[in-house]
Amino acid sequence: MSSSKSVGLREKAAKFLSDQVYLPYVGPISIWILLFVFAPLGVVLYFSFLRVGPFGQILNSFTLEHYRLMLKPTYIQVFMRTFVFSFGTNIICLLIGYPLAYFIVRCGGKWKTFLMFLVIVPSWTCYLIRLYALKTLTGNGGLINEALLNLGLISSPLNILYTPFAVVLGLVFGFLPFMVLPIYASLEGLDPSLLEASEDLGATPLKRFFTVTLPLTKGGILAGTILVFIPSLGEWLVPMLLGGAKVMMAGNLIEEQYIKLGNIPAGSSIAVVLTTIVVLIIYLSVKMGGEEVLERMM
Amino acid sequence: MKMKNFLKGKREVYSFMAGALVVLLLLAGLPACAPAAEEEGPAAGETAYDKYVASLSEGEYPVPCECFEQAQEEGELNIYDWAEWWPEEIYTDFEEEFGVKIVRDNFASEPEVVAKFKLNPEMPYDMITGVAIRSVIQIMQLDVLQEINHDWLPNVSAYIGKEFTEFEYDPGAKYSVFSDYGTDSYWYNTEYVDDARIPSWAVLFEPDEKYKGKITLVDDMFKSLAGALAYLGYPVDSDDEAQLAEVRDLMMNLKPYVMAFDSYPKRLALEGEAWISQGTYGDGFILNKESGGVVTAQPTPEGSRLLSDLLLIPKGAPHPAVAHCWINYLYRPRTTAFLCGSIGVQPCSQASLEFLPEDMREWWARVPEGYVASCGVIGERAVTGKGLELRTAIWEELKS
Amino acid sequence: METKNITSKILPVSAILVYLFLWLPTIVLVVLSFSNNKFGIKWEGFTLRWYADIINNVGIRNALKMSLTVALVTVVLSTIIGTLTAYGLYKYKFHGKKFLRTSILLPITVPYVVTGGALLVFFTRVVNIPLGYPSIIIAHVTFSAPLATFVVLGRMGRIDWTLEEASADLGANVLTTWRKVTLPVLLPAIIASAALIFPWSFDDFTITYFVCGIGTTTLPIYVFSQLRYGATSVINTIGTIFVVLPVIGLLLMNLLQKKKVS
């Protein structure tokens, strides 16, 4: 009796195992994500509710204080700024990225690859160094001001560096390629016969663009938005280097709390709020069909 | 997420990436092919310790044999310090003399050191350099420092000024040894700045309309606000609500004048982009040597803040004997003078004064008698409890 | 017709302006890397001394080695994990598949500061993973394994799988099928993901900044410490190398291809 039962169990186990053939494939990533994504984020969530002692030690008692502190006007202002800057960056990237992608696709052939290459290569240079180069360029004694002064267009140097404008400029500079790429991909995937058909119907180029091309590349725009808007929300290097550490964004608050003040619970609460916002946006865009586009791009 | 699509199906790009990889690898490999330094064999009949003792100049005391031999076994020194600060020779000379390897990591701000200790009480360093008293206070609260064995530091015992071992937070310098000190000040560019109020802090904290956007403040909440407190005539480590409220108003009024927060705005100052910058008196010495137009004002009559650079050995340091050799080495009068002369700080040992460069001795001679003694220190009040809370609030408002 | 003319004129002009915007900083950087100016911000005559400086600079050499090691290990680990995951997601239906797919999106989209901060807290407070090579590599793989998954997954739909099925039908075991059929078919996708991950890992600053430890100064971390203290002529030089390397790679690739053709 008992042996037949154990055989039955063994068979069941064997069957169960053979049903789980996918495990060797998705097992590693599942464990990895559980260990190094969910667990750390869970820890951050947990710490964000803990009290801080007089010397910054983490105490084992529950508090909502860090979240309450985030309603301070300074924090709200920083979050608003983060949102406005990221949104502005996204719009600017779209406004200058779309025509560029359109231009590249229209050039066609060998040029297409080369022109796209020219968009990509700058992003291979160390990000920090590129920001630094932009800083050199926009400073009071930088090339831009010197050129404008020499041309007599301005009489005293323009204050570009260390202003909110410099921060947005830096964000656009850093993220523009990620807007151009997906739009280029979706434009390239368009069926030229569709455009021809509408041409035959006598649509003007502009009308054709707005009624045919633009709607067809909606996915590309959405993907570009995911690739530009989301990372801008978490950016902290640009405000620090180009904003002179006085135009903070949400990422700077987190860095300041974690690294400069060592206040892990306070930093964690900001991280939780920022992550929640990001995940919400991702969720919405996936609902709107962005995921498919994202995957197509990859 | 870069260039995904661009790479799609374009074989050229992979092979090109592979090419780039090969070049990178070659580049990294090149230095490794450089011939290794020849090793010296030990001299016959003479121990390494004897050789070391014999090599010392007059006025330099050796560490005890026990410490030296342990250090030889340990063979390495992991230092955590500021980037680009002390001259390279300080490290290479030590490496050569003691036959140990120095590994250095850099921090960009002192709070970063404290934060790292909070996160990771067992930091695998042997030596932390260049942290100020207030950071030491914070670090000592965490109980992560090793007691320093002064029997292993004959040079320190012989030369350190007594005033540097009698601080309330660490009497007898049991956990922290001063390497040097200085005072806070501001630099101004004579080409643009002409203000009758020089050398008062007022030039920096209540500037003329024309200096809008030309001022830099130190990117460190304690140091920055300590300057403002000194200007207003309050203790630099005040935790008084009314006093800090005044500081807040002063700083918020100053905000439109601030070009950037920068802890060492060397380039901005030298290139004439920043006209008035908060910075130390010693750094001012270095800048003035590079460009005569940048002059340092030692804030008077208000007085200033004493800045301190301390040496610490973390608990569980893997190479404590080498760390002791290092501290003892730094206190050789010539070494102290070389270090202080290169980075513009004041030595804590009288014996090294005669070895300081002439121009630097003159520079420090301009500081009025008794000035340093009158300077306050950012102490415990500022870095804990209410003092910390009020400062953080001002700082966040200022920078948001 | 008129609008067409206008757009055909405006488009190239605007494109040139955008290219200028993207390239001007880099061009200036390359030019200034040869300038004798100490801060590398003005032209003061030609010099090669900054190049000599970086060749002799032990700090830069070590940082370069560190970055290369991290990037290589990251590429190997993440392409292995990513390829397996993509294969599993593509070939099998299982419980929680949708959840897994969404979870894999998470590390890519969470801001770097949050990833870095969360891992720092996790490594130091919860599990005792030493800050240094292990922490940096784990952090990098956490970001890039999902990236590899999506790159490989995206290409699987375009692959002809009949050969693999045939191999299985012929009774070849799983390992043989993988070695002989599946891997060769997937190789271009794997290389494409590696081509994305290597530069990302090599260039990552933020995540590394949070989780780096003793003796693990990568090149971006080194650059950052330099930027703070104004010793910047060397920065132009490092930046130039970053730009020139891809171009050399491109030339090499061209040469290789020409050889193949002839």
Predicted local distance difference test score (pLDDT) of residue A208:
78
Q: Is residue B43 part of a domain?
A: no
In whole angstroms, give the CA distance from residue A23 to residue A35. 17
Q: Is residue B95 part of a domain?
A: yes
Chain C contact present for B162, CB below 8 A: no
* Coil/strand/helix, residue B347: strand
Residue C227 or B27, more confident: C227
| Selected residue of C37, C156, C252 to mutate for chain B interface (largest B Cβ count, 10 A) | C252
* Residues B93 and B136 both lie in one domain: yes
CATH number at residue B298: 3.40.190.10
Predicted local distance difference test score (pLDDT) of residue A195:
63
Tell me the mean pLDDT in the region B229-247: 95
* Residues B187 and B176 both lie in one domain: no
| Residue B366 pLDDT grade (very low, low, confident, very high; cuts 50, 70, 90) | confident
- H or E element at residue B339: helix B333-343
* Residues B257 and B202 both lie in one domain: yes
Predicted local distance difference test score (pLDDT) of residue C2:
47
Chain B stretch 104-143, residues whose beta carbon is closer than 8 A to a beta carbon of chain C: 105-106, 108, 119-120, 123-125
* Residues B245 and B355 both lie in one domain: no
**Residue numbers of the domain that contains B351:** 56-181+308-363
Structure tokens given for A202: 């006598």
Does the beta-carbon distance from B384 to A184 stay under 8 Å? no
Residue B235 or C175, more confident: B235
* DSSP-derived pairing of the beta strands B101-107 and B76-82: parallel
Does the beta-carbon distance from C232 to A118 stay under 8 Å? no
* Residues B188 and B263 both lie in one domain: yes
| Residues in chain C closer than 8 A to B11 (CB atoms) | 188
- H or E element at residue A62: strand A58-62
| Selected residue of A29, A83, A105, A235 to mutate for chain C interface (largest C Cβ count, 10 A) | A29
Which domains occur in chain C, in start order?
A: 58-241 (1.10.3720.10)
Digitized pLDDT (tens) for each residue of chain A, 298 residues in all = 445 556 677 777 777 766 777 888 899 999 999 999 999 999 999 999 999 887 677 888 999 999 998 898 989 999 999 999 999 999 999 999 999 998 998 887 778 888 888 888 887 778 888 888 898 888 887 888 888 888 888 888 888 888 999 999 999 999 999 999 889 988 887 777 766 666 666 677 777 778 878 888 888 888 888 889 989 999 999 999 899 888 899 999 999 888 888 888 999 999 999 999 998 988 887 777 656 665 555 5
Q: Is residue B2 part of a domain?
A: no
pLDDT digits (tens, 9 = 90+) for B269-325: 988 889 999 999 989 998 898 888 999 999 989 999 999 999 999 998 999 999 999
Q: Which range has the worst mean pLDDT, B18-32, B206-220, C32-46, C95-109?
A: B18-32
Our CA angle for B31, B318, B329, nearest 5°, is 75
Nearest to C29, CA basis, from B154, A24, A130, B301:
A130
* Residues B383 and B333 both lie in one domain: no
| Residue B30 pLDDT grade (very low, low, confident, very high; cuts 50, 70, 90) | very low
Backbone dihedral region for residue A247 (phi beyond 0: left; psi -120 to 50: alpha; all else: beta)? beta
* Residues B216 and B294 both lie in one domain: yes
Q: Is residue B295 part of a domain?
A: yes
Predicted local distance difference test score (pLDDT) of residue A267:
92
In whole angstroms, give the CA distance from residue B238 to residue B204. 20
CB pairs under 8 A between B and C: 124
Predicted local distance difference test score (pLDDT) of residue A52:
86
Does the beta-carbon distance from C223 to A103 stay under 8 Å? no
Q: Which range has the worst mean pLDDT, A257-271, B112-126, B360-374?
A: B112-126
Q: Which range has the worst mean pLDDT, A103-112, C5-14, C25-34, C225-234?
A: C225-234
- Structural domains of chain B, count: 2
Nearest to A292, CA basis, from A226, A243, A235:
A226
Q: Which chains touch A (3 or more CB pairs under 8 A)?
A: B, C
* Residues B135 and B202 both lie in one domain: no
Does the beta-carbon distance from A40 to C220 stay under 8 Å? no
List chain A domain ranges.
Answer: 2-47, 66-297
| Residue B25 pLDDT grade (very low, low, confident, very high; cuts 50, 70, 90) | low
Does the beta-carbon distance from A271 to C114 stay under 8 Å? yes
Please tell me the distance in Å from A61's CA to the nearest CA on chain C.
Answer: 16
pLDDT digits (tens, 9 = 90+) for C129-145: 888 899 999 999 999 99
Predicted local distance difference test score (pLDDT) of residue B15:
55
| Residues in chain A closer than 8 A to C224 (CB atoms) | 128
Nearest to B247, CA basis, from B224, B263, B268:
B224
| Residue B255 pLDDT grade (very low, low, confident, very high; cuts 50, 70, 90) | very high
In whole angstroms, give the CA distance from residue A95 to residue A87. 12
Task: Give how far the C-alpha of residue A250 lies from the chain's centroid of Cα atoms, to the nearest Å.
Answer: 13
Predicted local distance difference test score (pLDDT) of residue B363:
87
Nearest beta carbon to residue C214 from set B22, B108, B125:
B125
Residue type, B149: N
Average pLDDT of every residue of chain B? 87
Residue B124 or A96, more confident: A96
Tell me the mean pLDDT in the region C173-202: 86
In whole angstroms, give the CA distance from residue A241 to residue B241. 33
Predicted local distance difference test score (pLDDT) of residue A296:
58
Chain B contact present for A54, CB below 8 A: yes
DSSP string, C59-119: HHHHHHHHHHHHHHHHHHHHHHHHHHHHHHHHH---TTHHHHHHHHHHHHHS-HHHHHHHH
Does the beta-carbon distance from B19 to C248 stay under 8 Å? yes
Chain C stretch 123-182, residues whose beta carbon is closer than 8 A to a beta carbon of chain A: 125-126, 138-139, 141-142, 145-146, 149-151, 153-154
State the greatest distance between any 2 C-alpha atoms of chain C, in Å, as a whole number: 72
CB-CB contact of A174 with A151 (8 Å): no
| Selected residue of B8, B24, B27 to mutate for chain C interface (largest C Cβ count, 10 A) | B24
Q: Which chains touch B (3 or more CB pairs under 8 A)?
A: A, C
By CA distance, what is B126's nearest residue in C? C214
Does the beta-carbon distance from C250 to B16 stay under 8 Å? yes
| Selected residue of A16, A23, A37 to mutate for chain C interface (largest C Cβ count, 10 A) | A37
**Residue B305 DSSP label:** B
Chain B contact present for C246, CB below 8 A: yes
Nearest beta carbon to residue B141 from set A55, A178, A264:
A55
Q: Is residue B19 part of a domain?
A: no
Does the beta-carbon distance from A245 to B219 stay under 8 Å? yes
Chain A contact present for C197, CB below 8 A: no
Inform me whether the pLDDT recorded for B11 exceeds 70.
no
* Residues B286 and B150 both lie in one domain: no
pLDDT digits (tens, 9 = 90+) for C33-79: 998 887 777 788 898 988 888 888 878 888 889 999 999 999 999 99
Inform me whether the pLDDT recorded for B34 exceeds 50.
no
Q: Is residue B40 part of a domain?
A: no
| Residues in chain A closer than 8 A to B219 (CB atoms) | 245
CB-CB contact of A269 with A66 (8 Å): yes
Please tell me the distance in Å from B114's CA to the nearest CA on chain A.
Answer: 7
Tell me the mean pLDDT in the region C221-237: 78
What is the CATH number assigned to the segment(s) A66-297?
1.10.3720.10
pLDDT digits (tens, 9 = 90+) for B370-392: 898 899 999 989 988 899 889 99
Q: Is residue B39 part of a domain?
A: no
Chain A contact present for B169, CB below 8 A: no
Tell me the mean pLDDT in the region B35-51: 61
Does the beta-carbon distance from B23 to C248 stay under 8 Å? yes
Nearest beta carbon to residue C242 from set A29, A100, A125:
A125
| Residues in chain A closer than 8 A to C120 (CB atoms) | 258
| Residues in chain A closer than 8 A to B4 (CB atoms) | 181, 297-298
Nearest beta carbon to residue C3 from set A29, A176, A205:
A205
Chain B contact present for C73, CB below 8 A: no
Backbone angles phi, psi at A27, to 5 degrees: -60, -55
pLDDT digits (tens, 9 = 90+) for B46-100: 788 999 999 999 999 999 999 999 999 999 999 998 877 888 899 999 999 999 9
Predicted local distance difference test score (pLDDT) of residue A127:
87
Predicted local distance difference test score (pLDDT) of residue A112:
84
| Residue B18 pLDDT grade (very low, low, confident, very high; cuts 50, 70, 90) | low
Q: Is residue B125 part of a domain?
A: yes
